[in-house]
């Protein structure tokens, strides 16, 4: 059996079209501030892609590119300024930040109504209890990809590999909210291959190239590959060994062209939500 490829590029383009149409229809004047500190090349690429998506959707983007030596105090001051700025509806601080800046402190300073990444503790807590305004972008993108298969999550055996605060844990929560039976695996999990092989829906968010092999995948499973790993030859690859797993899975996301573009599309959706929270309460 050969898996159907879940086309994240096409699905994300559709989400962005919907956002653009909504912005045009309601004549929304929306602004997203994107803050980048230092010159990490991967972060630069992500920021540029986010700016391009804003342009497409008719959302104004305000970029703040700060030098690596920026102090924590200066960054906090910028966040305060953006929190107070009515033109700015969403604030995104590109991670990782340089080591001398406490990421947690910066994220907690962002107004929770402008926290379009949904990283603020209060938004994380709201995801936990199911009363959320913003969905965390990457897990929300994964859910859209799963929905695109037409498979109902309810009652399915779902396995998430990875328990980070930005991907693994919120991913597990979203699957649970849709009544999946969810197992979270991590570096201490015993019999990982066996646990994964029982999954109807398998989400890999490990950060290790080709980690998920065909023996870890159930015949016909939905496999969502969140991983972005750069190989020595400069090519990008996911956490899933695509060639062999695609022979066994029912549906699979490619890397690139799977989860990555969805993350940005969901950010656009969250930015519109932020505008509505700030203007319609």
- Kindly tell me which residue out of 87, 100, 105, 186 binds ligand NDP, with binding defined by CB under 6 A: 186
If one asks whether residue 9 binds ligand NDP (CB under 6 A), the answer comes out as: no
- Is 50 assigned a catalytic role? yes
Is 117 one of the catalytic residues? yes
Q: Is 167 in the site for ligand NDP (CB under 6 A)?
A: yes
Residue 125 CA: distances (Å) to CA of 76, 92, 183: 23, 19, 20
Q: Site for ligand NDP (CB under 6 A): which residue of 30, 92, 160, 205?
A: 205
Given 113, 115, 117, 239, which residue is catalytic?
A: 117
Contact 263, 145 (CB under 8 A): no
Residues 6 or more apart whose CB falls under 8 angstroms from that of 277 comprise 113, 133
DSSP code for 196: H
Q: Which of 17, 2, 6, 1 is nearest to 201 (CA)?
A: 6
| Catalytically annotated residue among 16, 94, 114, 169 | 94
Q: Alpha-carbon dihedral of residues 10, 234, 167, 180, nearest 10 degrees?
A: 60
Q: Using CB under 6 A, pick the residue from 260, 267, 270, 275 that binds ligand NDP.
A: 260
263 near ligand NDP, rule: CB under 6 A: yes
The residue from 19, 23, 172, 226 that contacts ligand NDP (CB under 6 A) is 226
Return the SS3 of 189: coil
259 binds ligand NDP (CB under 6 A): yes
Among 74, 213, 229, 278, binds ligand NDP (CB under 6 A): 229
Does 170 help bind ligand NDP (rule: CB under 6 A)?
Answer: no
Q: Scanning residues 100 to 159, which ones bind ligand NDP (CB under 6 A)?
A: 138
Query: On the CB side of 42, how many CA atoms lie within 13 Å of its CA?
Result: 9
Rounded Cα gap, residues 52 and 84, in angstroms: 25
- CA 157 from chain centre, in angstroms, equals 22
Selecting among 50, 114, 169, 241, the annotated active-site residue is 50
Residue number of the CB closest to ligand NDP reads: 164
Chain contacts with ligand NDP (rule: CB under 6 A)? 138, 161-164, 166-168, 185-189, 192, 205-208, 226-229, 259-260, 263
Residues carrying an active site annotation: 50, 94, 117
């Amino acid at each position: 059996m050969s898996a159907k490829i879940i086309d994240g590029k096409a699905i994300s383009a559709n989400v962005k079209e919907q956002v653009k149409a909504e912005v045009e229809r309601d004549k929304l004047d929306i602004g997203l501030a994107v803050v980048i500190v230092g010159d990490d090349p991967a972060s630069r690429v992500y920021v540029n892609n986010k700016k391009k998506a804003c342009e497409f959707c008719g959302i104004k983007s305000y970029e703040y590119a700060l030098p690596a030596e920026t102090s924590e105090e200066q960054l906090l001051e910028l966040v305060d300024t953006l929190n107070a700025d009515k033109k700015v509806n969403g604030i995104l601080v590109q991670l990782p930040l340089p080591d001398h800046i406490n990421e947690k402190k910066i994220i907690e300073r962002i107004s929770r109504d402008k926290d379009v990444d949904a990283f603020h503790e209060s938004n994380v807590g709201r995801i936990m209890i199911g009363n959320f305004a913003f969905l965390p972008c990457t897990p929300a993108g994964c859910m859209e990809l799963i929905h695109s298969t037409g498979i109902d999550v309810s009652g399915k055996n779902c396995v998430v590999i990875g328990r980070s605060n930005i991907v693994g844990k919120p991913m597990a929560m979203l699957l649970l909210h849709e009544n999946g039976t969810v197992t979270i695996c991590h570096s201490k999990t015993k019999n990982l291959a066996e646990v994964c092989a029982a999954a109807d829906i398998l989400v890999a968010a490990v950060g290790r190239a080709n980690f998920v092999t065909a023996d870890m995948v159930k015949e016909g499973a939905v496999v969502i590959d969140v991983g972005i790993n750069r190989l020595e030859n400069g090519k990008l690859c996911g956490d899933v060994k695509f060639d062999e797993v695609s022979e066994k899975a029912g549906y699979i996301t490619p890397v690139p062209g799977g989860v990555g573009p969805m993350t940005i599309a969901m950010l656009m959706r969250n930015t519109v939500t932020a505008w509505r929270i700030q203007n319609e309460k």
